[in-house]
């Protein structure tokens, strides 16, 4: 897949998730088969750029390219500034956030709320594209299907965004009103794909190789984006890639592999956040990694009492060593959805 001057290695992307897809997690997903990764959103508010949170998000040291940074905001000139700021710090692709359902993103009604204000949404796109074009930086955009079930304007907006110079569009198959409730629907994504020439990425509830295949077939999308299913299971990308290529299922990772990946991830995590903060924020990643494994729940409670990185690493290592005595490979996780459960309305 091409995106401006870049050729992406495959069509499986890890979704931007604030507080989750930091640099260590993006690098892990790429190592395990994701072909593209977009950063957590960076605010367009200049006064926040020097904050620890935003400067960490704008730090891409060691990350393989192309580096894609998502920006969020509501003012066209500020968004253009934010694009230039991030390009100066290494961004090679700028992604505009019109997908986040949070009521207030950066204290303004940004994210998917912008889909209700079509003129403003378009003005933002035009302003960001104008800032990025002279630097040869492609602009991509992520949105939902619309504001509500009665106001699904994704197709109208998608057409306007393509004309304004967006290079790739991701659609999460839910409305803003839905938040994360209900099931994602893929008819609107298919309708968007049918009218655009630029690549379209389908997103929402893809949590197994079978579902990935079904969503690709239904939407005819150029690529898939996976978010929550990659939490604790970053190897889902290579599982999906293998299934799409062969129709077969890849064997689950060995317990030793899973332990090695998680340990390396924890080291990268502590290096980014520092030990005191990192030991706490790492608990979520450890919890996700163990949540569907036998005995994982009770270990989570034990781990939440550990406040020291060395002890956390040892506890994780010991837990996997015990699991490895009983299983060579991770016990297979039963996917939350399968072909029969996929809602594909005609």
Provide, rounded to whole angstroms, the least separation between the CB of residue 327 and ligand FMN: 27
Interatomic CA distance for residues 196 and 169, integer angstroms: 9
Interatomic CA distance for residues 331 and 178, integer angstroms: 33
Contact status: 17 vs ligand FMN (CB under 6 A): yes
Residues 92-151 that bind ligand FMN (CB under 6 A): 97, 99-100, 142
Contact status: 188 vs ligand FMN (CB under 6 A): no
Contact status: 227 vs ligand FMN (CB under 6 A): yes
Contact status: 204 vs ligand FMN (CB under 6 A): yes
Contact status: 210 vs ligand FMN (CB under 6 A): no
- For ligand FMN, which residue of 3, 8, 12, 18 counts as binding (CB under 6 A)? 18
**Near ligand FMN by CB under 6 A, which window of 13-21, 28-36, 280-288, 322-330?**
13-21
Provide, rounded to whole angstroms, the least separation between the CB of residue 37 and ligand FMN: 11
Provide, rounded to whole angstroms, the least separation between the CB of residue 202 and ligand FMN: 10
**Near ligand FMN by CB under 6 A, which window of 150-158, 199-207, 209-217, 333-341?**
199-207
Q: Tell me which residues are annotated as active site.
A: 100
Contact status: 203 vs ligand FMN (CB under 6 A): yes
- For ligand FMN, which residue of 8, 10, 12, 16 counts as binding (CB under 6 A)? 16
**Near ligand FMN by CB under 6 A, which window of 113-121, 220-228, 293-301, 319-327?**
220-228
**Near ligand FMN by CB under 6 A, which window of 11-19, 129-137, 290-298, 336-344?**
11-19
- For ligand FMN, which residue of 57, 60, 84, 172 counts as binding (CB under 6 A)? 172
Contact status: 70 vs ligand FMN (CB under 6 A): yes
Provide, rounded to whole angstroms, the least separation between the CB of residue 145 and ligand FMN: 11
**Which three-class secondary structure string do you get for the chain?**
CEECCEECCCCEEECCCCCCCCHHHHHHHHHCCCCEEECCCEECCHHHCCCHHHHHHCCCCCCCCCCEEEEECCCHHHHHHHHHHHHHCCCCEEEEEECCCCCCECCECCHHHHHHCHHHHHHHHHHHHHHHHHHCCCEEEEECCCCECCECCHHHHHHHHHHCCCCEEEEECCCCCCCCCCCCCCHHHHHHHHHCCCCEEEECCCCCHHHHHHHHHHHCCCEEEECHHHCCCCCHHHHHHHHHHHCCCCCCCEHHHHHHHHHHHHHHHHHHHCHHHHHHHHHHHHHHHHCCCCCHHHHHHHHCCCCCHHHHHHHHHHHHHHHHHHCCECCCCCCCCCHHHCCCCC
Residues of this chain that bind ligand FMN (CB under 6 A): 15-20, 40-41, 70, 97, 99-100, 142, 172, 203-206, 226-229
């Amino acid at each position: 897949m091409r995106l401006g001057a870049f050729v992406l290695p495959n069509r499986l992307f890890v979704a931007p998730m604030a507080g989750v897809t930091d640099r260590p997690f993006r690098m892990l997903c790429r190592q395990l088969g994701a072909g593209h990764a977009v950063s957590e959103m960076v605010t367009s508010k200049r006064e926040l750029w020097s904050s620890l949170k935003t400067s960490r998000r704008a730090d891409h040291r060691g990350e393989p390219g192309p580096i894609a940074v998502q920006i969020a905001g509501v003012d066209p000139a500020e968004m253009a500034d934010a694009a230039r700021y991030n390009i100066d710090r290494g961004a090679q692709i700028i992604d505009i956030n019109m997908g986040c359902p949070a009521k207030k993103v950066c204290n303004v009604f940004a994210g998917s709320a912008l889909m209700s204000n079509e003129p403003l949404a378009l003005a933002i796109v035009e302003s960001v594209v104008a800032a990025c074009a002279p630097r040869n930086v492609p602009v991509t955009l992520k949105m939902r299907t619309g504001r509500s079930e009665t106001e699904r304007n994704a197709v109208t907006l998608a057409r306007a965004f393509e004309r304004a110079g967006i290079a790739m569009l991701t659609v999460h198959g839910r409305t803003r009103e839905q938040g994360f409730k209900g099931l994602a629907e893929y008819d609107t994504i298919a309708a968007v794909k049918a009218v655009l020439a630029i690549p379209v990425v389908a997103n929402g509830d893809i949590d197994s190789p079978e579902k990935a295949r079904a969503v690709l077939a239904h939407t005819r999308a150029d690529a898939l984006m996976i978010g929550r299913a990659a939490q604790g299971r970053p190897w889902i990308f290579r599982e999906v890639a293998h299934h799409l290529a062969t129709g077969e299922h890849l064997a689950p990772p060995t317990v030793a592999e899973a332990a090695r990946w998680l340990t390396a991830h924890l080291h990268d995590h502590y290096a980014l956040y520092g030990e005191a903060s990192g030991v706490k924020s790492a608990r979520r990643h450890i919890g996700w990694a163990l949540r569907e494994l036998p005995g994982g729940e009770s270990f989570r409670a034990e781990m939440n009492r550990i406040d020291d990185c060395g002890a956390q690493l040892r506890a994780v290592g010991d837990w996997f060593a015990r699991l490895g005595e009983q299983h060579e490979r991770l016990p297979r996780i039963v996917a939350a959805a399968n072909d029969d459960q996929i809602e594909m309305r005609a």
